[in-house]
Structure 1
């Protein structure tokens, strides 16, 4: 009997040690502590309606976070994700209004988003520019194209067929399709990033590009395709947004890059490349969503929200900097 108790205690200690060693453990504790505090501060926090609203608010944006996380791991960054999301909406919406069916229009919108990623990848890998400058230029150019196509006027897409709108507005047994799609995308890329050999090259390239080249990895190809992947996922998110809101606004997605980068970095993705997980990035997204929901329920002015998110991002980047300096 005593031996069984000792074995059980040892197993619990081992489980706790494994949890504590996870980089995401601290983030999980912070989110739980914040949820407990908010449940005491507001009776509306621990309700299905509030959690459903939080999940809906970051599920589509979470798809963009997946692409951004993988790009950060390879050592890049994309400031154009918000503009690409908007561009996918605008192109798909304009093609639909021109007479194309919404499914084909959406595929074209996603394909055009991938093409934007390919152009950025070309300038990074062939011309030799860095991701920051390239994506900054792409952000401005793509946003300008959105304004040119729409002439600065939102496209009303209320005539979209119900079966297409269901992607963004429908549900399965009370669970919105948006959340289901988000979970599937996260599960697929989290698995690939952990298990697939091709995706291990992303970590090798981000950790030490020269060493990766010496080991036979074509690092420029890795960076190119990851850039394309990030833009493609942004385009996919844009199509879901279009189905959800039934409109395409040329200013949509402005500032989205802040949330996406903040979530990935808070979740453990390094701005220096070589580290990060999809699970951690989604936890970062969840933390930002809980913070936003808490501020709303506490009736704190919306003008403070961006400032608080910026402070959280600064704290996460500072922690990442000191952690890398300690390792060095």
Structure 2
């Protein structure tokens, strides 16, 4: 082999390794954190019951993270999501419990209310040009106050079974397994096949346009690892009650928003605005309209988060949604979103949310108080943003 060819091969391997580290670094961190707490908790963390609880306990934060990452990519921030979640949860309780409106209709009306709130805030940010920090800080205070007013300082409960099932229900096993939920295992196999098909198609597309790709051995190893993780995960769920309803909602949101951000014009415009708003405007991007709809979307997902949280508690409470905004923002930054805008992925935000969730759950199982948990989460967030700034300065 000629020296030049060997050097090119080494540089190619180095490029692929760096790309994989950037892409999968946080996922690797999640796996290592889970293994650490699995050891420290004597195997409690990854028991079927606790895995299911992890999904249920963090579902409303993950819903918020999906919307928040779009806001952060555009270079903005939303501090009002927790208060909006609480307010919409309170309104849904009044509609369902007090006014006896059917749950499905109340859910639709609540999501529309979230869209209106998002439009209200998006108007001030996009068209009046008030900084999002100020607008959403005002929204945080406004909707927290309105929540207290409509609930009159009291909780409203209980919700109907249909409403509760959104957050705490499970998909029934159509195969009627005795000790295992066979449907969950079948879903794992189907999802594995779809994953392999999508990855092979994506790799072929990269080859077609002469982009750098990992070696065939690395690619196959990656597929094997991911298929094992998917099927082990669904097998663990099958040992309890199977697949939670909220997990299906989350998977739909992740796939839909990932598609929008990667494959559509809207997604490219969102990234363009975060990268350089003036340049995007000069390129023909309707920056005001895109920003407006990003906040409308955030309002809808805040409403959904509030509905999920109320359904899990089986009550609407005045203090619902407390600090949700901080957990959602932290999930996005830990998952690789840039504090400067223009960088971030939906998948990364979900991984960041799971890192926070596993840390919370693991520390609770170890008996660490909420004071230590908050301190450690704050330190992790600071390190994540510092790492982002370090990479930005290094590449400048």
Question: TM-score scaled by structure 2?
Answer: 0.76
Following the alignment from structure 1 to structure 2, what is the Cα–Cα distance between the partners of residues 167 and 16? Answer: 44
CA contact (8 A) 2:66 2:349 kept: yes
Tell me how far 1:268 sits from its aligned partner.
0.9
In structure 2, the partner of 1:60 is 60
* Partner residue, 1:162: 161
What is the CA-CA distance between 1:269 and the residue it aligns to?
0.9
Would you say the 8 A contact 1:83–1:254 is kept in 2? yes
**Alignment-derived partner of residue 135 in structure 2:** 134
Q: 1:177 aligns with which of 229, 245, 249?
A: 245
Q: Aligned residue for 1:27?
A: 26
Tell me the distance in 2 between the aligned counterparts of 1:25 and 1:165.
Answer: 35
With 135-144 and 187-196 compared, the bigger mean Cα shift is at: 187-196
Q: How far off its partner does 1:23 sit?
A: 2.4
d(CA) in 2 for partners of 1:326, 1:67: 29
Q: Structure 1 residue 16: deviation in Å?
A: 10
- The yes-or-no answer on 1:206 pairing with 2:278 is no
Q: Offset at 1:302?
A: 2.2
Residues in 2 aligned to 1:92 and 1:41: alpha-carbon distance in whole angstroms: 41
The match for 2:210 is none
Q: Which has the larger radius of gyration?
A: 2
216-225 or 239-248: bigger deviation: 239-248
What is the number of residues matched between the two proteins? 315
Shift of 1:24: 3.6
Q: Deviations over 1:30-76 (max 9, x none)?
A: 22222222222222123112211112121222011000001100111
Calculate the TM-score normalised by the size of structure 1.
Answer: 0.91
Q: CA deviation at 1:237?
A: 1.6
2:387 alignment partner in structure 1: 319
> In 1, Cα distance between the equivalents of 2:135 and 2:75?
14
Counterpart CA distance in 2 for 1:240 and 1:57 is 10
Kindly report which structure 2 residues correspond to 1:221-240, keeping only aligned pairs within 5 A, or say none: 221-240=289-308
Query: Residue 303 of structure 1: CA displacement?
Result: 2.0
Match for residue 322 of structure 2? Answer: 254
State the Cα distance separating 1:15 from its structure 2 match.
11
Flag structure 1 segments of 5+ consecutive residues without an equivalent.
1-9
| 1:99 partner SS | coil
Quote the residue 1:121 is aligned against. 122
Q: Look up the match of 1:189.
A: 257
Q: Which secondary structure state, in structure 2, belongs to the residue aligned with residue 155 of structure 1? A: coil
More displaced stretch, 72-81 vs 40-49: 40-49
Q: For the structure 1 residues 20 and 92, does the alpha-carbon distance in structure 2 shift closer, same or farther, using more than 3 Å as the test? A: same
1:7-156 alignment, distance < 5 Å: 17=16, 20-43=19-42, 44-96=44-96, 97-156=98-157
Deviations 1:262-284 (A, max 9, x none): 00011111121101001111111
Once superposed, what is the RMSD of the aligned Cα atoms? 1.9
**d(CA) in 2 for partners of 1:94, 1:15:** 58
* 8 Å contact from structure 2 (residues 115, 300) kept in 1: yes
Whole-angstrom CA distance in 2 between matches of 1:254 and 1:162: 25
